[in-house]
Each structure stands twice: as C-alpha cells, then as structure tokens.
C-alpha cells in the first residue's frame, strides 16, 4: 500500500521527536508499504520567522513573507530525511517546487492547483521514503507560496489524493477526534469513525484537531483520513464516507466549542430590502469572515441584526460598522467578545426530530441563557456567555450520552 | 550602470543592519544604477543549522544538509527585500533555483556551471532591486546545492559576470584589504588598488577578507571587485587587472599570516624516485590539502620530507602517515601545530631581486628562526614559530615600508 503520513509541528518539535517520526515512518515502510511523509515546521519556528518579518513589515500577505516562512518546513524535511537515514532507511526530501505542488499566487493563503507527483512516485519506486515539506507550494512563475495556517494538513491530504494513497494519517499531539474537548469534559470519548460531513461541521464549529480546509479537500477527493497520536500506536479516528445506516446509528458525533468569536449587533436597523446586503457586503469588503447571522423579527419597521466574527477582526470591524450605522440609519452598534458558541453536530440528526429541543433543554436545566441560535441540517449552534462554556459542554455531552456508547459503528 | 553588491553575514546580522543594507542599495539605485544584491545568512544562522544537523548526522556533505543550511540565505533575502520595500523601494528576492544558478551535484561544495540570469534582468528592467540568495544553487535534477563556506562571495562575483555588471562590491565588516592584519600591525594601510594575482596570493596565504575562490572567479571573468565596509561610505580596495607599470611601482602588496596550519615531517625517507608521489597521493586520497612542501638535500640516500596541512586535518592525516612510514621505509614522522606561515606578496617582486633576502634579514634581525621556505614568482612564505607571528609581521611590514606609501598607484 501507499500511505501518506503527516506530522505536525509538535511531532517534529525537537531532534528527539524527529527520530521518533523517522522510526514510525520506517516501521510503516518495513511492513511493506510505500511511505510519503509530510512534515510541518518545528513548533515555534513559524512564529519566530513571522516575528522577524513583523519587525520590518506589517503585511503578512506578501511574496517575500512566504519565502521566509517556508524555510521552517524546509529545515524539517531535511532533518527528518537525515533522521530516517541515520536509522537505516532511505529517504529524500521534497520542497513544494520539487514535488511539484503548483498553487495560485495568493501569498500566505495559496490554494493548490495541481500536484505533479511523478518525482515522489519515482522516489517511492526506488525504495525511498519521500519526505515532503508541508504548507508550501510554487506558483506558475516559480515564486514560493504558502497555504496558510494548518496548510500542512492540506498538503498531506492533497498529496494522498495525487498519489492515489490508500489513506492519509494525520499524526498529531492528541489521540484522535473526541466527542468533546477532553479538557472541558473528562468523559469525552474518542470517536472511532466519523463521516466527512460531521467532521467538517465540527472543524467549522471550533474543534481544532483537523483544519476545515483539509477535511473539505479529503471529502472532495475521497481521501480517507486517520487522525492519531504521533506518540502512540493506538488507532485514532477514521474520517471517511459513511453509509446511511452508520449515520443513523450515530445520531450525534460530538460537541464543539468556539470561544474566539465576538458578537456584533446593529440596533434598530430599518427593515427594508437591501439593508442586510449592504451590511454584509461592507463587512466582506473589509476582509472579515462572518460566522453566524441572526435577524430578529421586525417591530415598527425596525429590527436588530446580530452576527459573529473572529475576535481578532473586531478592531478592524469597528471602523467598517461605524460608517454603516450612519449609512443605513441604524440606532447604534454594540460588540461583545465575552461569548462562546457551542455546537452539536451529527449527520444523523436529519432523521431524528427533537434534537434541538433536547439541546436547548440541557442548557436551560443548567440555567444557561441562549443568546443566538443557528442551525444547519446536521448542526445546532447556540451563542452563550463564555463563562458558561464548560458547563454547557458537559450538560449537552451528558444529555446526548456521548460519553457512554460508540458514536459510530466503528 | 548595473552594479552587484554582496553583503556578508555580519552586514545582515540583525533587522537593524538589514535596514542599513536596504538603505545602501536604495542609495545606489537612486543614483540611477540597476542594483542586484547578494546576501548571506544572518551571522550565526548557518552554524545554528549545522548544529541541528550534527545532532543527527556526522556527514555535512549530503543532499539534505544543503536543503537545511540554504534556508539561512532564504530568510535573509526575504527580509532584505521587505526592508527595501519598507524604505520605499521596489525589490524581489531570488533563490538559487529561481535565478537560476545551476551547479554540479557536489553537495556542500558545489561549483557553478551556469547562471541563467534572465529572471534577474527582467526584475532589474522593471525597476526592481534583485535580492539574490548567496551560497546556494540548484543542480540539474532540481536539488538544492550549496557552494561551501564563503560561497556568497562567489555568488556575487558569478552574478556580476553573468549580468555583465560594471563591478561587484563586496560589502563586509572591514574597510578593505590591508597591507597586513591591522590587529597585528597598527601601521597597516588600506590598499587602494590591487591586482588579481596579488589578491589571490594574499587570500591563499591567509588574508581572510576575500575568499580565494571568488577572486579566482573574478580574474577568470574579468569582474572588478570593490571590497568595502557595509557601515561606511568610504571607498575600500579595488581588485582588478593591473597594468605592468602599476605593478612595478607597487613592488609589494602586503603581508599575510596563517596560523591554522601544522607542519608534518617524515624523517629519513629513502631518496628514490616515486617516494614523494606515493606520499602525496596517499595524503590527497585522504582528502587532505597540502600547502607547502619542502624536501631537504639528501644524505646517505635519505632525506627529510616536510609539508604543511590545515591543523583541523591533522588527526585524519596521522592515520594516513603512520601507514606510509612503514610502506616507504621512513624512520618516523613528527607533527607540530605550533607554527605560523608569514607570506610577503607582490607581483612587482618579479622584477626586483633581493626581496627574499630582505625578508629573511628582517626576520633574522628580530631573532626569529625560519623553519621552512617556499616561494612563487610573486610570493615568499616562511614557516616560523606561532609565538613569533606578530613580531614577524611587524618586522617585515616595516622593512618594506608598507605603512608609509601607497602600495599601488590608485
């Protein structure tokens, strides 16, 4: 089999840990598999490089910044390749421009256009372990690009798709995907198998184990993922296509929490066509991603419009919204960064009515007030006070019995 | 004019110093010149990376080591390009594989085969300052290579040749090339102009300002060099083709000292044809560079054979020589790393008899014993005790009046 393994920054955070990665790659190779391994920069390295940049320059979306930060992964691939050879294996490193991972020219957040793959296949055919730099690519002019934070996951998945790998192991510092953050809910259980859709919703809702973008890529290309610990041989969580019967058994996959968002409310917005479009066009033009949007019913042709944005974007948003209040004739705006968003995710909820009511009931029983609600067909999200986050996670986790039984037929 | 400037590790050793480099490049550009700037890794960075390597691997002559250490220059070019832009200029960085600097595949000591140059010319034509990574190239298979220590000087010179630049400025942490090391001889004078030949001999004899290899490249391609300080606007030392008349005026260019060599002597070597060949073939096969070789006259068909090697190679040499002593039937070998080599260099000495005698006299007057002598047509070198090095430099420097008058018609 051809297997792609991806190791994150913590997993290659020291020479000792690189030796561990080398041993794992070799163990897989010695089982008779072809191994392509994608590695991140050593933990802390990307931040060290960005700090150098910030002393000169305040825009990280720049051709030269990608030249600089891509060196983190470059050092890692060289060292991991050496570690594999020091342990008796054969290995060769590949940078984005050698693989060849062609991207668009959107520096610092480039998207993969194509992967040549042949150089990797040649190395694998020659019995070498291919050690591939994550996070980086090359545009059509030959400039180095980077894929943005978490881009190494995407490199791993894209490489697995391009090589036709059996699956892609995402080797990280946790044992898998859990029904809730174990730091908040000690009863949280590792999920054995989860469908792409649920994993996407969990990632979008704040579960940090996998990058949303890499899961999207995996679903689109049908790449099976195995999320597991770099420091153990225990199986982790498989992310894959689920059959309808499995999904029904697994009504709920898990609970996610997001505390890095802020709520913004425009009060007394005139309730006329085109107002919402004006607001969200202006916000989007400011480069700010809006998450939840809630508009209450109208009184006296006025309504309140609330939405959530990443807390980090709040200062930038304020300038945009102050102009908007005047333009659309609203009363004022308020912002609140003391919120949390709790989400319940499960493709099975499509066929189970009453899930939302159960969730709201669980929160109510704890005396937790719900500030905003939004739903998709497989997710229910509630904005609550940040101080209530941990109690909310436990209450919802317990109400749906997520710690007790397999969430999926594994 | 098209000018290439090269900045060493100390000159880009901090963000502040990179700003200084940016300001110098821009000042040159604003005089109406096209500027291509070659930069080294920030001082200390290459050693930091090699230390990471050494924790895994004891061979630095390896494809993966070049992948790792070349990141030092990669970070530098990105930061310098950003600094130029932050100061209001236009700049674009170029890595070895983008330039395109094609080398052979001798990792860690690759030689330049060709430079495409067109990407640089395009950037210059677009009004950009081209910021080029020193020390690195790419082989024909697309693997990253490095040129060895001091390789950034070579990149600068080679780039100047490829672009047809007017000259190459080597911007460093000293004001130019001196008639002697100013740390040993306070009366040493900065040389205004020096010929390639003399500069080659000085570099080979231990003057550290310029890499021997880059001077060779400059001579072969007729590239004028201007060695000067990164931290001042004072003119430095021009290295260029000298006319015969200039050389006669400038009888002596300077005094060089080398303290990193050791002397090895084989005693009572049978004086028969082929013995020297056997000895130096074995030493060369051990990868050891021999500098001076002296063979004394023969007594009773036996002779003493002495030579000098870099001190760092002495442990490796001992194994080779021990076997040799037996093979050729010599009495024994001795080694001595307490020596220094003082060299007097000047193309003008060809037409001035008595230079050697004056040098030996200067040393004798100081009571300094000469252990070995070797000469070329433009250099006289004497091996002396290391403890006598500084006194020897001052005595020879004074005897030839090097501190008093221009060493060359500048």
Q: What φ, ψ does residue A116 adopt, rounded to 5°?
A: -70, -50
Residue B409: pLDDT band with limits 50, 70, 90: very low
A79, closest residue in chain B (CA to CA): B53
- Closest listed residue to residue B346, CA positions, set B270, B260, B256: B256
Residue B301 has a pLDDT of: 80
A52 — contact with chain B (CB < 8 Å)? yes
For B21-61, the pLDDT digits (tens) are 999 999 999 999 999 999 999 999 999 999 999 999 887 77
Q: Which residues of B touch A95 (CB under 8 A)?
A: 67, 144
Is B84 touching A (CB cutoff 8 A)?
no
Per-residue pLDDT tens over the stretch B203-223 = 999 998 998 899 999 999 999
Taking residues B228-245, what's their average pLDDT? 90
Q: How confident is the model at residue A32 (pLDDT cuts 50, 70, 90)?
A: very high
Residue in A53, A64, A91 nearest the CB of B93: A64
Distance CA B91, CA B85 (A): 6
Percentage, residues of chain A above pLDDT 70: 97
**Domain membership flag for residue B253:** no
**Could B52 and A79 be called an inter-chain contact, meaning their C-beta atoms sit closer than 8 Å?**
yes
Q: Which residues of A are less than 8 Å from B15 in CB distance?
A: 52, 55-56
pLDDT at A250: 62
Q: Mark which of A150, A173, A196 sits at the end of a domain.
A: A173
Write down the pLDDT at residue A408: 46
Question: Which of B53, B71, B78 faces A82 most closely, judged by CB atoms?
Answer: B53
Lowest mean pLDDT among A385-394, B48-57, B316-325: B316-325
Output the average pLDDT for chain B.
91
CB contact under 8 A, B18 and A56: yes
| Domain assignment of residue B161, yes or no | yes
Residues above pLDDT 70, as percent of chain B: 97
Nearest to A15 by CA among A79, A75, A89, A74: A79
Chain B residues in contact with A116 (beta carbon < 8 A):
none
A56 to A16, A60, B14, B75, B145: CA distances (angstroms): 34, 11, 11, 13, 29
B15, part of any domain = yes
pLDDT tens readout for residues A45-84: 999 999 999 999 887 779 999 999 999 999 999 999 999 9
The verdict on residue B368 lying in a domain is no
A67 with B49: Cβ contact below 8 A: no
Based on the fold, state whether residues A162 and A278 are members of the same structural domain: no
A286 vs A174, which has greater pLDDT?
A174
- Confidence at residue A331, expressed as pLDDT on a 0 to 100 scale: 83
CA-nearest of A213, A206, A212, A207 to A191 is A207
- Cβ–Cβ under 8 Å, residues A192 and A28: no
Q: What would you measure as the largest C-alpha separation in chain B, in angstroms?
A: 77
User: Are A52 and B97 an interchain contact pair (Cβ–Cβ within 8 Å)?
Assistant: no
What are the pLDDT digits (tens) for A311-355? 999 988 988 888 888 888 888 889 999 999 999 999 888 777 788
Q: How confident is the model at residue B246 (pLDDT cuts 50, 70, 90)?
A: low
Same domain? A133 vs A280: no
Residue B148's pLDDT band (cuts 50, 70, 90): confident
Q: Is A183 exposed, middle or buried (0-12, 13-18, 19+ CB in 10 A)?
A: exposed
**CB spacing of B53 vs A79 below 8 angstroms:** yes
Strand A339-345 relative to strand A254-258, pairing: antiparallel
User: Mean per-residue pLDDT for A201-228?
Assistant: 93
- pTM of this prediction? 0.86
Encode pLDDT of A187-214 as tens digits. 999 999 999 999 999 999 999 899 889 9
Q: Are A381 and A278 members of one domain? A: yes
Cα(A95)–Cα(B264) distance, rounded to whole angstroms? 46
Average pLDDT of the residues in B255-269: 92
Residue A238 belongs to some domain of the structure: no
User: Between chains, do A144 and B95 touch, taking CB under 8 Å as contact?
Assistant: yes
Do A143 and A64 belong to one domain?
yes
CATH number of the structural domain spanning residue A357: 3.30.2130.10
Q: What is the pLDDT of residue A281?
A: 87
Surface of A (86-115) touching B: CB under 8 A: 86, 91-93, 95, 97-98
pLDDT at B407: 44
- Distance (Å) from the alpha carbon of A57 to chain B's nearest alpha carbon: 7
Decide: B109 and B55 in contact? Cβ < 8 Å.
Answer: no
For chain A, what is the mean pLDDT?
Answer: 91
- Cβ of B222: how many Cβ atoms within 10 Å? 11
Write down which residue in A133, A151, A173 finishes a domain: A173
User: Is residue A193 one of the residues assigned to a domain?
Assistant: no
For chain B, the residue count is: 410
Contacts of B56 in chain A (CB under 8 A): 15, 18-19, 79, 82-83, 86
Q: In the prediction, which pLDDT does B248 show?
A: 54
Report DSSP state, residue A357: H
Quick one: tokens of B129? 């300052």
Cα atoms in the 13 Å half-sphere on the side-chain side of B49: 27
Q: Cα separation of B45 and B134, whole Å?
A: 14
Q: How far apart are CA A42 and CA A32, in angstroms?
A: 29
Cα separation, B357 vs B396, whole angstroms: 11
Residue A303 near residue A271 (C-beta atoms within 8 A)? yes
**By C-alpha distance, which of B221, B238, B74 is closest to A146?**
B74
Averaged pLDDT for residues A379-388: 94
pLDDT tier at B410 (50, 70, 90 boundaries)?
very low
A78 vs B64, B95, B142: nearest CB: B64
Question: In this structure, is residue B130 part of a structural domain?
Answer: yes
For A100, nearest residue in chain B (alpha carbons): B142
Residues A113-129 have pLDDT tens digits of 999 999 999 999 999 99
Minimal CA separation from A75 to chain B, in Å = 5
- Domain shared by A163 and A247, yes or no: no
The helix, strand and coil proportions of chain A, stated in percent and rounded to the nearest 5, come to: 40, 25, 35
Domain count, chain A: 2
pLDDT at site A407:
44
pLDDT digits 0-9 by tens, B355-379: 888 999 999 999 999 988 888 888 9
| Chain B contact present for A219, CB below 8 A | no
pLDDT the model gives residue B279: 87
CATH number of the domain residue B56 falls in: 3.40.1160.10
Q: What is the pLDDT of residue A274?
A: 79
Residue A184 DSSP symbol: T
**Cβ atoms of residues A79 and A37 within 8 Å:** no
How many CB atoms within 10 Å of residue B60? 17
Residue A347 to residue A247: CA distance in whole angstroms:
6
**Range of lowest pLDDT (A58-62, A93-97, B179-183):** A58-62
- A10-24, B42-56, B304-318 — which is least confidently predicted? B304-318
First to last CA, chain A: 22
Which residues span the domain enclosing A51? 2-173
Task: Give A-chain residues touching B74 at CB under 8 angstroms.
Answer: 67-68, 70-71, 74
Best mutation target, B65, B68, B72, B118, to test chain A (most A CBs within 10 A): B68
Nearest chain A residue (CA) to B59: A82
Tokens 């063979």 — which residue?
B295
3-state secondary structure chain B: CEEEEEECCCCCCCHHHHHHHHHHHHHHHHCCCEEEEEECCCCCHHHHHHHHHHCCCCCCCCHHHHHHHCHHHHHHHHHHHHHHHHCCCCEEEECHHHHCEEECCCCCCCCEEEECCHHHHHHHHCCCEEEEECCEEECCCCCEEECCCCHHHHHHHHHHHHHCCCEEEEEECCCCCECCCCCCCCCCCECCEEEHHHHHHHHHCCCCCCCHHHHHHHHHHCCCEEEEECCCCCCCEEEECCCHHHHHHCCCCEEEEECCEEEEEEEEEECCCCHHHHHHHHHHHCCCCCCCEEECCCECCEEEEEEEEEHHHHHHHHHHHHHHHHHHCCCEEEEECCEEEEEEECHHHHHCCCHHHHHHHHHHHCCCCCCEEEEECCEEEEEEEHHHHHHHHHHHHHHCCCCCCCCCCC
Mean pLDDT of A99-105: 95
Task: In whole angstroms, give the CA distance from residue A315 to residue A305.
Answer: 19
> What does the alpha-carbon distance between residue A131 and residue A342 come to, in Å, rounded to a whole number?
38
Q: Do B71 and A67 touch (CB under 8 A)?
A: no
* Candidate from A205-209, B185-189, B243-247 with smallest mean pLDDT: B243-247
Of A173, A199, A225, the residue at which a domain comes to its end is: A173
Question: Cβ A52–B86 below 8 Å, yes or no?
Answer: no
Sheet strands side by side (includes B136-138): B112-115, B101-103, B136-138, B144-146
pLDDT tops 70 at residue A246:
no
Which of B56, B105, B141 should we substitute to test contact with A (largest number of A Cβ atoms within 10 Å)? B56
Summarize the confidence of residues A276-288 as an average pLDDT.
86
Inspect the interface and report whether the beta carbons of A144 and B57 lie closer than 8 Å: no
Q: Are residues A169 and A278 in the same domain?
A: no
What are B66's two structure tokens? 């070049």
**CA neighbor of B159 nearest in space, from B214, B79, B208:** B214
Q: From CA A381, how far away is CA B288, in angstroms rounded? A: 71
| Residues 6 or more apart whose Cβ sits within 8 Å of residue A107 | A61, A62, A63, A65, A66, A143, A145, A146
pLDDT exceeds cutoff 90 at B347? no
A/B interface, count of CB pairs below 8 Å = 103
In chain B, which residue's Cα lies nearest the Cα of A72? B71
pLDDT grade for A398, boundaries at 50, 70 and 90: very high
- Domain contains B53: yes
């Amino acid at each position: 089999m051809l297997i792609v393994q991806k190791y994150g920054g913590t997993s290659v955070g020291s020479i000792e840990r690189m030796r561990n990665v080398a041993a794992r790659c070799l163990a897989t190779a010695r089982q008779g598999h072809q191994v392509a391994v994608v590695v991140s920069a050593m933990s802390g390295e990307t931040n060290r490089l960005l700090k150098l940049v910030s002393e000169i320059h305040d825009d990280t979306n720049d051709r030269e910044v990608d030249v600089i930060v891509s060196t983190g992964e470059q050092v890692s691939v060289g060292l991991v390749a050496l570690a594999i050879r020091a342990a008796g294996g054969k290995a060769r490193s590949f940078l984005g421009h050698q693989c060849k991972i062609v991207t668009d020219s959107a520096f610092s957040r480039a998207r993969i256009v194509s992967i040549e793959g042949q150089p990797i296949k040649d190395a694998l055919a020659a019995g070498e372990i291919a050690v591939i730099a994550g996070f980086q690519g090359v545009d059509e002019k030959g400039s180095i690009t980077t894929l943005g934070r978490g881009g190494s996951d995407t490199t791993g998945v894209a490489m697995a798709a391009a090589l036709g790998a059996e699956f892609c192991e995402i080797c990280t510092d946790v044992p898998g995907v859990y029904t809730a953050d174990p730091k908040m809910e000690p009863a949280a259980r590792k999920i054995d198998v989860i469908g792409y859709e649920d994993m996407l919703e969990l990632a979008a809702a704040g579960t940090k184990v996998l990058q949303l973008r890499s899961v999207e890529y995996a679903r689109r290309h049908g790449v099976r993922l195995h999320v597991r610990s770099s420091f153990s041989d225990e199986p982790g969580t498989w992310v894959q296509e689920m059959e309808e019967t499995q999904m029904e058994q697994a009504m709920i996959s898990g609970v996610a929490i997001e505390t890095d968002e802020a709520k913004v409310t425009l009060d007394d917005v005139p309730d006329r066509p085109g107002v919402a479009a004006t607001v969200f066009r202006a916000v989007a033009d400011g480069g700010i991603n809006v998450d939840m949007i809630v508009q209450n019913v109208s009184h006296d042709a006025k309504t309140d419009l609330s939405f959530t944005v990443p807390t980090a974007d709040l200062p930038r948003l304020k300038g945009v919204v102050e102009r908007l209040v005047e333009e659309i004739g609203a009363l004022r705006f308020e912002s609140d960064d003391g919120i949390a968003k709790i989400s319940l995710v499960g493709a099975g909820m499509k066929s189970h009515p009453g899930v939302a009511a159960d969730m709201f009931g669980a929160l109510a029983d704890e005396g937790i007030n719900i500030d905003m609600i939004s739903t998709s067909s497989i997710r229910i999200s509630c904005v609550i006070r940040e101080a209530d986050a941990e109690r909310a996670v436990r209450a919802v986790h317990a109400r749906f019995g997520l710690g007790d039984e397999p969430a999926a037929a594994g």
